[in-house]
Structure 1
Amino acid sequence: MNILVVDDEPTARDVVRAYLEKEGYRVFTTDSGVEALLYFRNEVLDFVILDLMLPDVSGEDICREIRKTSMIPIIMLTAKSEETDRLIGLDLGADDYLIKPFSPRELVARIRTILRRVKPLSIQKELFYEPGLTIIPEEHRVFCHKEEVVLTKQELTLLLLMAENPGIVFTRAKMLDRAFDMAFEGDERTVDVHIKNLRRKIEPEPRKPIYIETVYGVGYRFRKLDS
C-alpha cells in the first residue's frame, strides 16, 4: 500500500511517516505541491495525505487536479479550523479532514476507516508486493519498480494464479489448464518457458527469483511476503 504525505512541516512529515511505516505502509513524502503532482503522475499510489497550506501549490488545487482523473482516497490536513474551510476541502473531493495539531493514531484510524469503505471499489482491484511489484488485475497491468511491464495473456494469467494464492504450489498441468482455458495435451514443460519469460520481465535477478519459486519435481508457487 503506497501513501503520499504532502506537508511543509518537517516534523509533521517525519512523525506521520514513522507511524504509517510502523503500520506496514510504504510512504512517500514531500513539502512541495509540484512534487506531489509528480508523485501522483509517476507512482502507483493508494492514498494521499494532503496539507492545505503549501509554499507553491495550494492543497485545494492539488486535490482538484487529482480529482480530474482519480478517486484515490485523500485526507486533508490544515491549521484552519473554520467550518467553511473544511467544507471547501470536502466539496473538492477530499474523503476526510483533520485539523492540526492532530494525533497520528487518529490519522491511522481514519485511514483504516476510509480504506474499509472504499475497498469494494478500488483496493480489491490491486495487489501489491514488496519489493517493487504491483499487479492491478482488473486493468491487466503490472508494474515492476514503477515501470510498467507488458505481459502476454498467458503470462498474466499464470502470474495472477500464483500471486493471488501465495505459498500454494501449482503443478505444471494445473497452470497450463488455467493459462490456456482448456486441458493441455502437449508437453507440460511448456509452462517452464512461460515462467522463464515471466521471471525475465518481473524479477530483479531472473536467475535468483524472489517472487516465483520453483518447487522441484512439482511446479511453482508465489513467495509469501513473510517468507
Structure 2
Amino acid sequence: MNALALIAEDDAEVADILDAYLIREGLRTVRAADGRTAIELHRKLKPDIVLLDVKMPKADGYEVLSAIRQQGTAPVIMVTALDEDLDKLQALRIGADDYIVKPFNPLEVVARVKAVLRRTQNQKSQTVLRVGPVEIDESAHVAFLDIAESGRVRLDLTLTEFRILAHMARAPSRVFSRAELIDACFPESNALERTVDSHASNLRRKFEAAGACGFFEGVRGVGYRLTMLP
C-alpha cells in the first residue's frame, strides 16, 4: 500500500497544494486543520510521514510534534513561514526530520518527502522488530505496544529491560535461559541469574500494566520467552 501522509495545515490553500502534489506522486493523504485533530489522526491512522505547520489553532506545531514523538516514530517535516534559526533548532531538537520554509516550491516538498521516506523506510527494515502487538525500534531504543483496547502505548523501559526485550524478539516463542540473557545483555558485568529475574519481573509487570498479560512469561526451571499474542 502506498505511503500515507498526514498534512497538518490550517491554511486551506496551502493544504490543497500539498495534497494535490503528493497524490500526483502516488501517496495517500489525510488532512488536519488544527493541532488537536492532527494528534488524534496520527494516533488513529499511524501515517508514514507528517507535514506539519507551526502556527495552528488548538495546539501549535511544536506541541503536535512533541505528542507525535510520544506516540510513534513517523518522520515529520515542518512546513512553516517561521524562518529564524531558533525556530528551526527548536523543531529539530524536539524531533523534526526536516524543515521547509514558506513560500515553497511544491516539487521541492515532494522531493524532500520522498527522500525522508526512503531513509526512514530503509532504517525501519534494518532496525524495527515486531512480535505480536509489540514494535521494537532498536535505533531509537523505544518499544510500543499496540492492542485494540488501549491503542498504541509507548513502554517505559530501562536500557537493560530494552536489551532483554530486543534480544528475545529476534527469536519469538523461543525459551531463553538466564545464562543466555546474561551473556547477551550483560556482556561487561558479573550479573547473577537473580538479576535477570529482577529485570524479567519488571518487564512482565510493565506489559501487564499496558494490557498485554501473558506476553512475557517465565518457563519454570528454564528461563523466559515471548508469546505471540493476537
How many percent identity over aligned positions?
35
Give the equivalent residue in structure 2 for 1:4: 6
Aligned pairs (5 A) from 1:190-209: none
Change over 3 Å in CA distance of 1:66–1:107 after alignment to 2: same
1:62-97 Cα deviation digits (max 9, x unpaired): 101111231110000111111111110011100000
Equivalent residue for 2:44?
42
Of 93, 96, 110, which residue of structure 1 is paired with 2:95?
Answer: 93
In 2, Cα distance between equivalents of 1:123 and 1:39: 24
Q: 1:81, 1:116 → 2: CA distance?
A: 26
Select 2:65's aligned residue among 63, 66, 73.
63
CA contact (8 A) 1:6 1:51 kept: yes
Partner of 2:110 in structure 1? 108
> Could you say which residue in structure 2 is the equivalent of 1:33?
35
Q: Which residue of 2 aligns with 1:81?
A: 83
Aligned to 1:138: 130
**Per the alignment, do residues 21 and 123 of structure 1 end up closer, same or farther by CA in structure 2, a change over 3 Å counting?**
farther
The answer to whether the 8 Å contact 1:115/1:123 transfers is no
Contact 1:3/1:25 (8 A) holds in 2: yes
Distance 1:56-1:98 versus aligned 2 partners, 3 A rule: same
Q: Give the total of aligned pairs.
A: 133
Deviation, 1:44, is 2.9
Please state whether the residue corresponding to 2:77 is helix, strand or coil.
Answer: strand
1:20 aligns with 2:12: no
> How far has the Cα of 1:121 moved from its partner?
2.7
CA root-mean-square deviation: 2.2
Secondary structure in 1 aligned to 2:100?
strand
TM-score scaled by length of structure 1: 0.54
1:52 is aligned to: 54
Once residues 76 and 11 of structure 1 are traced to their aligned partners in structure 2, the CA distance between those partners, rounded to angstroms, is 17
Distance (Å, rounded) in 1 between the aligned partners of 2:9 and 2:35: 9
Q: What residue identity is the alignment partner of 1:55?
A: P
**1:123–1:48 Cα change, 3 Å:** farther
Question: Does the 8 A contact of 1:73 with 1:95 survive in 2?
Answer: yes
- CA–CA separation in structure 1 for the residues paired with 2:126 and 2:30: 22
Q: CA deviation at 1:123?
A: 6.2
Quote the Cα distance in structure 2 between the aligned partners of 1:109 and 1:24.
13
Q: Please, which runs of 5 or more residues in structure 1 have no aligned partner? A: 127-136, 142-147, 150-227
Q: CA deviation at 1:56?
A: 1.4
Deviation at 1:138, TM superposition (A): 3.4
Shift of 1:140: 4.6
What CA distance in whole angstroms lies between the structure 1 residues aligned with 2:17 and 2:126?
28
| C-alpha distance in 1 between matches for 2:28 and 2:40 | 17
Deviation at 1:139, TM superposition (A): 4.7
Give me the whole-angstrom Cα distance separating, in 2, the residues matched to 1:38 and 1:61: 13
Deviation at 1:122, TM superposition (A): 2.6
* Pairwise CA distance, 1:112: 1.1
CA, structure 1 residues 65+22, in 2 after alignment: closer, same or farther (shift >3 Å)? same
Are the structure 2 counterparts of residues 40 and 13 from structure 1 closer, same or farther at C-alpha, using a change threshold of 3 Å?
Answer: same
Deviation at 1:117, TM superposition (A): 1.4
Q: List 4+ stretches of structure 1 deviating above 3 A.
A: 123-126, 137-141
Match of 2:214 in 1: none
Measured after TM superposition, the shift of residue 100 of structure 1 is 0.5
Unaligned runs of 5+ in 2: 134-146, 149-230
